[in-house]
Amino acid sequence: KQEVTQIPAALSVPEGENLVLNCSFTDSAIYNLQWFRQDPGKGLTSLLLIQSSQREQTSGRLNASLDKSSGRSTLYIAASQPGDSATYLCAARKSNAGNNRKLIWGLGTSLAVNP
């Protein structure tokens, strides 16, 4: 059974730091993995999606990598800003067929970027 873990649960950094958020999954047989951002009391915003055949995806200051063999994905945020403060969630999808299309969710990392 796939399990997704995000460590640390919370992170506080000064503005301008480059930082890495971690996401681990127990079953390396994944179809893709998606990173989301959630602001307090709001819905989720999709940040990046990495297919199993890809090693990384980039969007602006964000870079997500995927290492299936080690069961890890990382979200790298360059030059962090106070506006990056939010909870970051990762979710893994086992396959593109039937019930296995469901996302398996981590609990998230709550990030605070201090000015």
Q: How far is the CB of 18 from another protein (least distance, A)?
A: 26
Q: How far is the CB of 16 from another protein (least distance, A)?
A: 30
45 or 81: CB nearest another protein:
45
35 or 71: CB nearest another protein:
35
Give the binding site for another protein (CB under 8 A).
4, 32, 34, 36, 41-46, 49, 51, 89, 91, 93, 96, 99, 101-103, 105-108
CA gap 92, 23 in Å, rounded: 10
Burial class of 38 by CB neighbour count within 10 A (0 to 12, 13 to 18, 19+): middle
**76-88 CB burial, b ≥16 within 10 A, e <16:** ebeebeeebbbbb
